[in-house]
Amino acid sequence: MCGIFCSVVNNVPVNSFNIPSALKVILKNRGPDVQDEVVIDYGFGKILFAGFVLWQQGESVQKQPVVEDDFIFLFNGDIYNTSKPEYMSDTSWIAERLAECRCEEQNILKTLKRLEGPHCLIIYDKREQILYFSRDALGRNSLLIERTRNGFQLLSTSHIEDKKISLELPSLGLFRVKLNDLNSCVLYPWQPLNDYSAQLLRNLDLAIGWKTAVESPILPDWILNCNPAFSYNFYEFQYIKNDVNLFKKLIDQPEIKDTLSIIHTLLSDSIKNRVRNMAPFCRLCMPKLNISPPCRHAKLCILFSGGLDCTILALLANQFVPVNEPIELINVAFESVKGQNISEKLWDVPDRKTSLVSVNELKQLCPERCWDLLEVNVTRLELQQHLISRIKHLIYPLDTVLDESLGCAFWFASHCTHSTARVALIGSGADELFGGYTRYRNSFKRCLGNDLEHQLAVQNELERDWQRISARNLSRDDRIIADTGKTARSPFIEENFVKFIRSLEVYQKCCFGFPEGVGDKLLLRLYGYQIGLRDVVFLKKRAIQFGSRIANKKQNGAHQSDYL
């Protein structure tokens, strides 16, 4: 994970053109291993490029920005499913591909079309004075855009200040701006715009003050629809009160068994890529480098509520981490507030209890592994101090009570002082893909139509959430977790996995004719059972803000936070 920064400014004195010190601290937290800056003239003003690198791939750290004869390149992310040599970093490999493009726009588009993995990038064509910038189509990594007094800037994360307009750059495609005309922009969308994405583009134009023309879509191969030949329907199976017998019966169905086999292959590959592609040093040993004997501390952690999603990630990750290295399971609990159940032990919150049950399952299934459960306990005073001094800047420009609760939970978990890991696996996307939220069940119940209309109601709710997942969760979580020098990786949100799961019908993923803790995310629960999990597959879904006790259920998550 890196912090990248690009500022385009007209008519600015050289000695006043720099990154504000508070912002530089935040960017350096994301990329503590090496930093560099480059300032160039472009005729009407100046551009400042800065890179703050967290080394994760390649034999050695790659400094940024990458400056070549024809272009300047900034990159933040991970690229998977390519033929890249192991000794090369993603940044240097993409820079080589861009050099082969010779700044020909169609060649650049072809190069970006082949990239898979969470990323955002900035490319400056020196000759034509054109700035290109984009986020991957799933919007997993943060890139903000801000309107400033004399221009605009792109940056991984920001710092709250007056007199600027900030928003998350929509993950719509590749943007192109000619620096001699900052009133217009061109977008090559990843896929044709729908009503929601068209509104995001209008919001961007209004905020930044330019007009965007939309060109033909790029259409990466994984975005194109696929139609698996499965006809099973969970609603055709009668509910059996013995959940174990029900799961065994469903798993024995040939088509369901085939579906679970594909899930296993795709999810295992996703986790393998995200676990094996990291630097060979932990947080403590990184400053020493070339140490002997090799670092055997934990390099991987899982933000661990003890729920279904993170426990599946932990069990699968076990296959790909050297057996003599621990895997950290980080669980966070917050001090109770008025209105919550204060009769329970101070840190005995629901997610703490669940984590203890689930870690015992992992120990039984993988007794050779050192599972290091790290318990993070946060007082209300600590929460308020860090929220005001640091976390609110990372959440910015988002500002709701829900953003505050989730942002703080992830920040304290990833900031665990006893953690040595530099990669954090998170379960983002599982609920949106498999139907895990209570609102999906509610949409099913509220529908008064026939069976088809019930399924359509749930499908519409799933689709709405999937379109919004980047703006509601992924960008914020990236900014929060990266602040602690960790790279957040989301194995469920992988191109091929997403393509397959979203190709299934809604009645092939969840079944709201079955009770809570069974029918929601039913397909993922069956997969968990198939790979050996028993207790966790029957747990009811619990949101982290309530499971960790950071939030009160009486609060409205959509309301604006008093602290942001």
Question: Which residues are designated catalytic?
Answer: 2
Pairing of strands 371-378, 327-334: parallel
- State yes or no: cis peptide before 322, omega within 30 of 0: no
Q: 60 φ, ψ to 5°? A: -150, 165
How far apart, in whole angstroms, are the C-alpha atoms of residue 421 and residue 438? Answer: 33
Q: How many CA atoms lie within 13 A of 151 on its CB side?
A: 21
Task: Say if strands 423-425 and 300-303 run parallel, antiparallel, or are unpaired.
Answer: parallel
The rounded distance, in Å, linking the Cα atoms of 356 and 362 is: 10
Asked if 372 and 328 touch (Cβ cutoff 8 Å), the reply is: yes
149 φ, ψ (degrees, to nearest 5): -60, -40
Q: Indicate the Cα dihedral angle 431, 437, 439, 444, nearest 10°.
A: 80
Whether residue 29 contacts residue 485, with contact meaning beta carbons closer than 8 Å, is answered with: yes
Q: Where are the alpha helices (DSSP H) in 34-169?
A: 90-101, 105-113
Its sign, for the CA torsion 308, 313, 316, 317, is: negative
3-state secondary structure of 130: strand
- Give backbone dihedrals phi and psi of 199, rounded to 5 degrees, phi first: -70, -40
Q: What are phi and psi of 179, to 5 degrees?
A: -75, -10
Q: Are 39 and 46 in contact (CB under 8 A)?
A: yes
Angle in degrees, 0-180, between the axes of helices 451-469 and 438-446, rounded to the nearest 10: 150
CB contact at 8 A, 557 and 409: no
d(CA 244, CA 247): 5
CA-CA distance, 266 to 93, in Å (whole number)?
A: 25
Q: Strand locations in 322-417, DSSP E?
A: 327-334, 371-378
Nearest to 301 by CA among 328, 324, 282: 328
Strand order in the sheet with 165-168: 34-41, 45-53, 2-10, 151-155, 144-148, 165-168
Q: Which helix (H) or strand (E) holds 46?
A: strand 45-53
**Could you tell me which of 211, 204, 319, 223 has the C-alpha nearest to residue 270?**
319
- CA separation, residue 406 to residues 192, 230, 336 (Å): 31, 37, 16
Q: Which helix (H) or strand (E) holds 147?
A: strand 144-148
List Cα–Cα distances, 318 to 202, 366, 528, in angstroms: 45, 8, 14
d(CA 528, CA 315): 9
